[in-house]
Amino acid sequence: MPEEFETGEVVAVRGAVVDVRFSTDRLPPIDSALTIEAEDIASGDVLNGHANGEPLVLEVHSHLDTRTVRAVALQATAGLKRHVAARATGRPVTVPVGDAVLGRLLDVRGAVRDKGEVLSADTPRRGIHNPPPPLIQSESGAGGGLFETGIKVIDFFAPLSQGGKAAMFGGAGVGKTVLVMELIHAMVEKYRGISVFAGIGERSREGHELLTEMDRSGVLPRTVLVYGQMNEPPGARWRVPMTALSIAEHFRDEKHQNVLLLMDNVFRFLQAGAEISSLLGRLPSRVGYQPTLASEVAALEERIASASGAAVTAIQAVYVPADDFTDPAVTAISSHMDSVIILSRALAAEGFYPAVDPLASSSVLLDPGIVGDEHYRLAERARQALARFKELQDIIALLGVEELGPEDRLTVRRARRLQRFFSQPFVVTEAFTGMAGQSVSRADTLKGVEAILDGDADGWAEDSLYMIGTLDDAAQKDAASKAAGSRKDAAA
């Protein structure tokens, strides 16, 4: 049983930061929860979220002196006044875990937000602050192995690992959320574990779309959605990843089930931390970020580990502010990743989706001992062709392809076909593109890349390789295009 603590009194409210004074020096521990009853918050405020009788939850951040603590609110503090009572629980915020939360949408405190039935009182709960598993107990992906996604450019240039961590970095509007949604959909058949999705600081519209898409595709019964949205206070966005991790850890440790953890968007977690840091009065660090940036990222990422014979595979979307990949938040997150997937605005502008930059993306798994000699050799050849094409683009723009030497012209022809081959229609965009989504095995991807590099597709139209699945689809598309052209010429 947690130690009993006295009830304190609110003495200051500064946005999401609340100071609470106690009558004795027995202060509640750091990261423990304080609660303020809904009836003690001024009524009539539709923004405060407490009209339905839910208490306001605070989390102790620091001890200011022997009798005063500074806490961060996990909900809006509108209507909160000084001198109201704040009860110390003596334990961290706890959230419901286990099979009961599958198919449900929760907030940072574990409250149900999908307008469904309330969870039963005997639902097991777990604190949101837990240490990572000891290094001696951690496992490299619980047996490891490649984690095929069915997305050609990812499986080929930046393969993911079972139990690994991958991040997709990109600026606004280059397709991070669509890629996350497609990964969820593509893994329904292949992935027999539990999915936990953390929506950090995203728009309400995106959350609604994801919930609808998951329900339609049949993924929802094995998925838990945890949201701290853009319109919520920084405390909620700051702790939502911890809530999602606690749920994932329960399935890993207690149920020994593999877990797919998806987070969109991790940058918003650090952005909320910067807001909290500013409200706490800390001096900012580089580019205005909080001085605790590196330790906050490490505390989150080190908990994503495989143990107890089960793997936690994490795929994270990361917003890149102003497309600056040297931003401190971006570099701090990337240092913890096994696979780094870079989304390019230039490729998105040219209509290549997914807009993954194969030259900037990388993975520790792209090694002959893991993916095999053939895959590694083809990846090196493909990268060389694409890199040479990139070097020649300025010359092509000024003088045209005809001014290049025969060898460079051949390289450019094949690199352009490779670019188009790595585009791929997604299931989640069928309603917008009118094209059926495609999932491609790694073996078919290798076969297609080798054929293009060996010149088997030199005589095909470039458009026949655009937005297709396998090379066989491209062959059919090219044959159909040539047949249509012949009929048009005959009619003329």
Q: Which residues are catalytic?
A: 176, 202-203
Residue type at 67 in one-letter notation: R
The 3-state DSSP class for residue 434 equals coil
Closest C-alpha to 55, from 74, 40, 37, 72: 37
Q: Do the bridges between strand 105-106 and strand 223-228 make them parallel or antiparallel, or are there none, so unpaired?
A: parallel
State whether the Cα torsion 435-427-168-238 is positive or negative.
Answer: positive
Instruction: Give CA–CA dist 304/313, Å, rounded.
Output: 8
Count Cβ atoms below 10 Å from residue 370 Cβ, excluding itself. Answer: 16
For residue 439, give the DSSP letter: -
State whether the Cα torsion 465-349-161-429 is positive or negative.
Answer: negative
Instruction: Give CA–CA dist 332/325, Å, rounded.
Output: 11
The answer to whether 151 and 186 are in contact (CB under 8 A) is yes
306: number of CA atoms within 13 Å, CB side? 21
The answer to whether 274 and 288 are in contact (CB under 8 A) is yes
DSSP assignment of 88-144 equals E-SS--EEE-SGGGTT-EE-TT--B-SSSPPPPTT--EEES--PPPPTTT-BSGGG-
What the block records as the tokens of 143 is 């047996």
The answer to whether 167 and 233 are in contact (CB under 8 A) is no
Instruction: Give CA–CA dist 102/223, Å, rounded.
Output: 5
Indicate the length of the chain as a whole number.
492
The answer to whether 109 and 26 are in contact (CB under 8 A) is no
Please name the residue that has the structure tokens 């991040």.
Answer: 167
Cα–Cα distances (Å) from 393 to 102, 153, 361, 387, 400, in that order, read 50, 21, 20, 10, 9
Burial classification of residue 349, based on how many CB atoms lie within 10 Å of its CB (0-12 exposed, 13-18 middle, 19 or more buried): exposed
Closest C-alpha to 465, from 413, 407, 428, 396: 413
The answer to whether 375 and 446 are in contact (CB under 8 A) is yes
Instruction: Give CA–CA dist 228/222, Å, rounded.
Output: 20
Instruction: Give CA–CA dist 125/35, Å, rounded.
Output: 17
